[in-house]
Structure 1
Amino acid sequence: MRPPKPQPRPDKVSLWRYLRLFRRDLLSAQPQRLYRAWMAEFRTPFFRSYMINQPSLIDTVLKKRPEDFPKSSRIGEGLRPLLGNSVFLTNGEVWKRQRRIIDPAFEGGRLKDTFPAMLAAARACVDRLRSKAGQNVEIEEITSHVAADVIFRTLFSVPIEHELAGEVFEKFRAYQREQPLLNLAAFVPLPRWMPRLHSRRTRRNARQIRALIGRLTAERAAQIANGQAPDDLATKIMTAVDPKTGYCLGTDEMVDQVAIFFLAGHETSASALAWALYLLALFPEWQDRVAQEALALDHPNFSSMSKLRYSRDVFRETLRLYPPVPMMVREATCPEHFRDREIAPGSQIVISPWHLHRQERLWDRPDDFDPSRWGTENGKACQRDAFIPFSAGSRVCTGAGFAMVEGPLILSMLLRHYRVETIDDKTPVPVAHLTVRSRDGIWLRLVER
């Protein structure tokens, strides 16, 4: 079972043509040989980049020696106006301190505490869609709304209808449309004193989003001081103490962290959910399986999640075919020898889930949509060695467990009540903005069951 084929993959492209194609059409930009290569080299006038697509090399960079390959500051240039000094962009001791404070809030045992908020957001989405039944809908807009609702309910105990939450959501939608995945600074070594090439609108939206988040965190700080704060993720993180240094996040630093929670928790989930619904519209037999098992949510609680096996496998398969973050960039800090290449310090090491998840030497039928693959020996082996939608190692996404509850839950709740169908001449084309989105949206017909 294969989603519609992308345009023919070119055999070779120049760097500059690659960058143009990457913005416009993510699939068409990728030379066919990259889906078989263990490693590839990209040369620019300023530095060299190496894409590694071999599990043992990725394991070295992400798991065995992560401190020798810190997150590249070049990629961060594009996100700095919004994310500031968040855990997504920092390295070294600052990053370690931030993770020691943040990670406990997302530990497995605490996911159960967030389930009611996720369920409430999913139910609210089901209710909102009743007026759209029988219509053609742009599904990314719907999944963005429900994913943002989950973030605000779990972080600040407010629904998206809350005035400040709604403003943040609308500003973030504008920011997402303006901001590419890659900023020119990722490819040109601009001096620190030189202004970064962010549009005026991008900078303005980032300032406004941060100001709104600042109001929410300031209100929460006051509630904590008065002993009246709800026991949600924001309170857990703002009252957490680094066990090593005794440090707590201040209000300003919390703005940075909330910005990345919103980006990582809302943007990535919205992308994955939208592509999952599109794939299920393409393959109605899998949609029926998900809808049938969703009857377990008639009286839902956290233990109900163990019954959503089809939904979990569909969501996992979507993350394989359309990983929300299609590439990660690290920087070599010392001379390296990977395969037959000498890698100089300062070189960029590109790890691409987009390619790794479709690596022809590793996966059976890599371009096919087959949620049942996760029960096969090949699927189990590739899940261990070649499946990194949330990264891996010490920098694995803090919210990975959160996402694997949220995604299958919302998917099941929506399909419990609605069927989605494809629309002729509305085939989505994936492009790289902040996450893998569709160039012209994902349009589906929504039918009430």
Structure 2
Amino acid sequence: MIRPPKPTARPDKVSLWRYVRLFRQDILSAQPARLYRAWMAEFRTPFFRSFMVNQPELLDLVLKQRPMDFPKSGRVSEGLKPLLGNSVFLTNGETWARQRRIIDPAFEGGRLRDTFPAMLAAAQAASARLAPGETEIEAQTSHAAADVIFRTLFSIPIEHEIAAKVFSQFRSYQRSQPILNVAAFVPLPRWMPRLHSRTTKATARAIRALITQLTDQRMQAIKAGTAPDDLATKIITTADPETGQRFDTAEMVDQVAIFFLAGHETSASALAWALYLLALAPEVQNRAAAEARAFAADPSFANLSKLRFTRDVFREALRLYPPVPMMVREASNDETFRDRDVPKGSQIVLSPWHLHRHTRLWDKPDDFDPDRYGTENGKACLRSAYMPFSTGPRVCTGAGFAMVEGPVLLASLLRDWQFTPVKGREPVPVAHLTVRARDGIWLNLSRRDAAPAS
């Protein structure tokens, strides 16, 4: 089996300031190796206590049994507020519940069928953009995932002027490392400025202005009766079944911002790592390519079941390189976890990165093995130790969308292209907004023999 790259863990004990420096460089390598086998670990700082939870029973408690007692932590939201405002990703309580009641119907199974043609068009366009030779594949998957979002949300391709500007500004926003804000480490009073970088604030303003333009145009088209039946129209016209309220422009801008951040950034990350893993494993790649060619004979939503192995490849990429490596909740009451006091206000860290590679849960957790999901261990871990999209009531509303998009994009690329590693350019995983490669993921591309699958 293939064992792909994994960040080097830090020494077990370091000072707070050393930890902050390591965290700013990369969230993953700032953590000690013991977290890959621990059920729970405690971290103390002068400002707050933090508990990482890996035990499946505790995860079930926090995310499924009593999720309202463990709201999303404001520490993570500090760095993202300039772009996301009060989006569903950051809110808690009744505000969050109202937002989900309006958003969720747009991502139900029947709507996924309606968005499939736009996904497929974006996937085919992504394959057509590629060229033989050495390619930094993360740039290509970012382009493809952004195209999917704009086609399904606003019925416009990435080449559309406003879509292209949003994509360009978002790349600048990523490079500003917005999540690394001082308020994530030090509790600041509400009135105090959050010290966001100039680039973070400028690019967030630019992105929100462009999204506002698209949203205003769509609302006018809805009033005129000329709006396409896409995700934006569905969300804007859906009323909260309990209050009858709809999103106004400002609220819709918040939601579109998180759709773009979550739907584009996370899919781009997972797709790039999936292609890299396939480049390391030619036999696995050929199996997926054969599936892709069979699917291409009739690439319809009804035939997605033909991409079963490709789906497992994408699932394995999400396990080894979960786009969102850590999630943070906050204890709203005093708790007791594993006979240990967890005071009110403690940060509860849920880490897909460590859970998905946990040595006490998964067989050969660091190996790339898409066939593991047919084993008893793989099936059991899927139920209790796999959460790339979180789980419970706060599961990502686009999880089903992503699990259609990923295999479709992979299939379109594998049908036409063969991917091999570039010697001497092994990617180093790092995490800021999502799990990416420090210097990109470089692959050699060559056109695949177009002969039909045997």
Q: TM-score, normalised by structure 2?
A: 0.96
Correspondence list, 1:159-174, <5 A: 159-174=157-172
Correspondence list, 1:48-447, <5 A: 48-129=49-130, 132-133=131-132, 135-295=133-293, 296-447=295-446
Return the letter of the residue paired with 2:215. Answer: T
- Superposition deviation, residue 232 in structure 1: 0.1
Whether the 8 Å CA contact 1:297–1:304 is kept in 2: the answer is: no
Whether the 8 Å CA contact 1:15–1:42 is kept in 2: the answer is: no
**What stretches of structure 2 of length at least 5 have no aligned partner?**
449-454
Return the letter of the residue paired with 1:99. Answer: R
Whether the 8 Å CA contact 1:13–1:31 is kept in 2: the answer is: no
**1-10 or 214-223, which moves further after superposition?**
1-10
Whether the 8 Å CA contact 2:178–2:200 is kept in 1: the answer is: no
Change (3 A) 1:431 1:180: farther
- Superposition deviation, residue 180 in structure 1: 4.6
- Superposition deviation, residue 74 in structure 1: 1.1
**What stretches of structure 1 of length at least 5 have no aligned partner?**
none
CA distance in 2, matches of 1:368, 1:299: 33
Return the letter of the residue paired with 1:270. Answer: A
CA distance in 1, matches of 2:82, 2:14: 31
Return the letter of the residue paired with 1:222. Answer: Q
- Superposition deviation, residue 23 in structure 1: 3.7
CA distance in 2, matches of 1:430, 1:395: 27
CA distance in 1, matches of 2:425, 2:25: 17
Whether the 8 Å CA contact 1:3–1:279 is kept in 2: the answer is: yes
Whether the 8 Å CA contact 1:78–1:198 is kept in 2: the answer is: yes
- Superposition deviation, residue 292 in structure 1: 0.6
Change (3 A) 1:204 1:321: same
RMSD of aligned Cα (Å): 1.2
Return the letter of the residue paired with 1:432. Answer: A
Q: Percent identity?
A: 73
CA distance in 2, matches of 1:48, 1:67: 20
String of CA shifts for 1:410-440, please: whole Å, max 9, x gaps: 0111011001110111111111121111111
SS in 2 for 1:420: strand
Return the letter of the residue paired with 1:418. Answer: W
Whether the 8 Å CA contact 1:356–1:387 is kept in 2: the answer is: yes
CA distance in 1, matches of 2:330, 2:280: 39
Change (3 A) 1:5 1:58: closer
Whether the 8 Å CA contact 1:272–1:322 is kept in 2: the answer is: yes
- Superposition deviation, residue 212 in structure 1: 0.1
**10-19 or 342-351, which moves further after superposition?**
10-19
- Superposition deviation, residue 31 in structure 1: 1.2
Change (3 A) 1:390 1:8: closer
Whether the 8 Å CA contact 2:78–2:179 is kept in 1: the answer is: no
Count of aligned pairs between the two proteins = 446
- Superposition deviation, residue 27 in structure 1: 4.3
SS in 1 for 2:79: coil
